[in-house]
Structure 1
């Protein structure tokens, strides 16, 4: 065999081997490496007590995913002051009661949620190459009106102990001297987002002045993030991207499945001066149940007041 041909053949075999190894790792190992990320934000009003916010997203639950269910049950031990769920909870109608049981301790804590498209429509096989298109949404998705999953039952289960449904809605939660004012939207991936008008006149700040404004959406489309900024959000929370789902070392996320810049596909970043937290989420569609260099995650955000002399 000629030297150049031999080298080319060896390189090709090495590439095939690396590809096979990446497939095995992403499909059978990393997709089960449930991770708790922790980060800190100094966005509370001066003098406010520290609060812990648990952000969960994109669970995409199938009833038989026992390791995922065990991780959800573990999260209750964190005893967060507030839970925000940014949608795509289920991947099957049979998942609703199973999810409610696993989340039960968290559902009894203060919280709020929005829905994603996978809370409304059962997942279906799709060509992964679609995600490289400028608009990766399947044809006709935004025209669908009637869910084929039990969306109303899911909403009832999530809200039966007090979680706020933020589907194009506003709500308020009082956390021992800190008022959380929330605004949320229906899934922007389905073009159903409508930031609700503010109360007229706006509710006055409490005497102690401790108010935190949160914007909550499933898919972090730019128009929605801009709307939350204009609405006065102190923190924006979203999911949907799966952190890119497949990440390349040195490159990061290849896609976000929306118009969010790739470098903001997961974690904390800045959107027009407002902190943006995008959860990489806890799952994936059962038809693309893999992850590479972005393990499934939930995030515990510790919210604090500014340091003395730092200002708000």
Structure 2
């Protein structure tokens, strides 16, 4: 293999997915994810079970990523791994594995901020997907995070708005739980919303100053609304499920879009990139496209497989840091509450 090829192995273990990816000069050669089904019966991620499953999955997942990429361990130039934020037990599995592998192969180790990676996933070389130019606004929306970030360069980012309580993904999951839907509820609510009337029921949007978000009040409002209606009609949820889902989704998207509009006004930046698991939502994607027409935005939505937690986004950050010789030493530790 020619010397100018830079091969990076990315490892992601921040929550309940064990993932590994091999990247060559910005192009993804493999992206392998082992999801943990065990959490579904608990209606949420159980940290102890998650770290145990990572321990079982990490060796086969890394092996498969290398095999799929047609790359051997000796071809690798560096190992990139998620340092945080995330669940401590899960992060420790990926961190210690990456450290040992880099040490054993005598190649550099690169620590990656999971939240930066969601944003920088837009810089993976992928046919048919444009890359944003700096500066741009990134909205990261997932089960654990809701943030608006001003991105000045690859590693110069500034959080200008974030949730003060629940993340948007939690709002979906908790609403789904109230409605008796499975976990995670986001995809199911999205699917049903497409068949319902978004204006059937009205939920009040929380009033939060500036660019910050709040979703806990909405969740409480939905709970009280369902309790009140089912008292009068025990079959209320069953008879109106699509309309309820459409109304919840309409409200959530309204909250996100209001803040984005405000952010574009305040910063005068009209380039918007989204990332994180919730950016797979069809309603949010449509609202962004509408924003292009209405407000002259240029929007960037990553390929579906790069929206949820994955190792390709860790590998691309690894590649960008490798080009800058930005390496970690072996004393690096996992951090559950890492900031951008």
TM-score by length of 1: 0.29
Higher helix share: 2
